[in-house]
Amino acid sequence: MDLAQLFIHDTTLAFVFEIMVRCVLMYILIILFLRLTGKRGVRQLSIFEVAILLALGSIAGDPMFDEELPILQAVLVMSVVIIMYRLTTWLMMKYQPFEDLIEGKSLYVVEDGMLVLDKIQRGKMSHDEFFAEMRQQGVEHLGQVRVGLLETDGKFSILFYPDEQVRHGLPLFPKAAQIVYQVQPEVQYACTYCGFITTLSSAQTPCVRCGCHKWTEAMNTLRIT
């Protein structure tokens, strides 16, 4: 292998300086164009916004070192993408069905302290994903949650029960959610699949709500605020 070919090839000193100028110019342009998206930060992006950023990113890189690419062309491409982006967000604001199409809808994951069945059964999401979200928001078990909504940007919104309405629920922390093989009378058990709460005469009893038969002892601790 020819190392000079690998590392330098036909790079001239003049082109080294051109690359530097190109990088500075593109850097400034990228910041300007990102400001034009109107977004204040990138903490939570929807799939649609990630697509826009990917497009902008791939346009932005090449003109930094490709002498065949005039800056003007990059500016043109970025302008078109930004105009499309602003047009799309405008249409989304105007027409709800269009927004649902582009961004998806927010989904009810928890209602009345139990997981919403058709969502998990259709495999739209995995338990682990939103259990982790709820744990991070300090939820110890589902009996504390009146409503859990998965937003289109992947955030998880929770409405809690007030303390006097907290009921038994499925524990969300792994150590507390171990599957039981022996049951005791008078104890509330939680279906590990759907969060249904019941007393059991046998650990093999199927859940009347989802048909699953993996049970764990339910909790009814209050939230610590």
Return residues touching Zn ion (CB under 5 A).
Answer: 191, 193-194, 196, 207, 209-210, 212
Complex with Zn ion: residue 166 or 191, whichever CB lies closer? 191
The amino acid that residue 64 corresponds to is M
Contacts of residue 99, Cβ cutoff 8 Å, sequence gap at least 6: 92, 93
Q: Which is nearer to Zn ion, 177 or 194 (CB)?
A: 194
Whose CA is closest to 109, among 118, 101, 100? 118
Closest to Zn ion by CB, 33 or 193? 193
Residue 167 or 209: which CB sits closer to Zn ion? Answer: 209
Dihedral sign from CA coordinates of 174, 175, 176, 180: positive
Residue 51 neighbours by CB under 8 Å, 6+ apart: none
> Please, what is the minimum distance in Å from the beta carbon of residue 184 to Zn ion?
20
| Min separation Cβ 48 and Zn ion, Å | 34
The one-letter amino acid code at 192 reads: T
Q: Least CB distance from residue 159 to Zn ion, whole Å? A: 22
Q: In the complex, what is the shortest distance from the CB of residue 113 to Zn ion, in angstroms, rounded to a whole number? A: 13
Burial status of residue 134 (CB atoms within 10 A of its CB: 0-12, 13-18, 19 or more): buried
